[in-house]
Each structure stands twice: as C-alpha cells, then as structure tokens.
Amino acid sequence: MNRESYNQIAPQWAAARATFFGREREYLDAMLACAPAGSTILDLGCGTGRPMAEHIVAQGRRVIGVDQSEALLSIARGNLPNERWVLSTMQAFEPDQPCHGALLWDSLFHVLRTEHEPILRKVVGALPVGARLMLTVGGSAHPAFTDTMFGRPFSYDSNTPEESEQILARLGCRIVIGEFMNLPDGGRDKGRYAIVAEKA
C-alpha cells in the first residue's frame, strides 16, 4: 500500500517536505556530531532526499539512501546525483558498507512494529561504537491503523516511545535525545517521538 501511495503522491510530497520541521535540524546535527567528515550516513526511508540527505551532504558527509518508492528515489537522484540511492524495503535492505550514522526518519512506523527490532538490529550492527542513529516512532500505544495523505491510504504501526527506547537499549545503545515532536491529541494525531541514540 505505502509504496504505491508514495509513488502516486511523489510531486506533492516533494513540495511539502522540502524544509525542516521543529527541531529536526538539531537532531540531525546531534547525529552528525559523531560522524567524521567524508563518512557515509545510511538513510532508510530516504524519500526525496530533502531535507535530511541534502543537509547531510552539505555538512560534508556521503549518503546511502534507501526507499521502496521508485518515484521518490527518482526525485532524490535528481536532487543529489552523486549519492547512492537504493530501491529496497527497509526489511530487505542489508548494509553492505561501513556507515558512521543512520536515520530512519518518519519511515519505521510504516512497517509492522514486530519488524522494528530486526531492522534496528541490522542498522546498529552496521555502525561503529560511538556512532549515532536517529529515528521517529509513534507517540502513543495504539493498534496498527490506516490514514490518508494527499488522498492516498498509508498504513502505520509503532512501538511506544518507551518500548522503542528499550529495544535500542537491548541493542547496546544509549539515548542521547528522546522527546515528543508532537503529542497525541486523542484523535487522528497519534503523536510523534524523536530519538537520537549512540552505540555504546
């Protein structure tokens, strides 16, 4: 569902997702603070590459962007033609080169929560000690659900913020930043929680 929906709304998504929201740039800079100049950052669910990958490259790092939407990757390649873009689901992608940081930004909650820990295990395993990853998860306990964006259906599922931080702790990470970007409103907005974690 999500792949087809993102392919359908790629132009609208590109227009809507061109700049940072809230403290996103601060989270990204906190992750990059532990990535040496010239090192590679893994972006799982990279979308069009804006604004995240674009900022990473501007800060002197390289990007491997992974997404299941051909249309979003086409835009990403046009935006940042010198980076590596991989068509794959997060579940199927296997890191094949060293990375010094990773992000799963507004992407992990598009897959079943039972798949979150295996995905995060792969990502953490690809990082050296002291490297950081950043991700967003849903902000509340809620069953999997479907919502719409630009008139297209999207599926969502997530562990709670506490459960997500426990998963990262089991994988040998310490939480550097853990905070709500927006609180659940008891209705359609289930909340969104930002995490920056460091491999200990």
Q: What is the pLDDT of residue 171?
A: 98
- State residue 178 phi and psi, 5-degree precision: -150, 110
- State residue 158 phi and psi, 5-degree precision: -160, 145
Rg of the chain in Å (alpha carbons):
16
Q: Alpha-carbon torsion 110, 117, 181, 100, what sign?
A: negative
Q: What is the pLDDT of residue 176?
A: 98
Asked, as a colleague might, if the bond just before 36 is cis with ω within 30 of 0, I would say: no
In this predicted model, what pLDDT tens digit does every residue of 101-136 receive, in sequence order? 999 999 999 999 999 999 999 999 999 999 999 999
Distance, CA of 117 to CA of 14 (rounded, Å):
29
Q: Global pTM?
A: 0.96
In this predicted model, what pLDDT tens digit does every residue of 141-169 receive, in sequence order? 888 989 899 999 999 999 999 999 999 99
113, HSE (Cβ side, Cα atoms, 13 Å)? 18
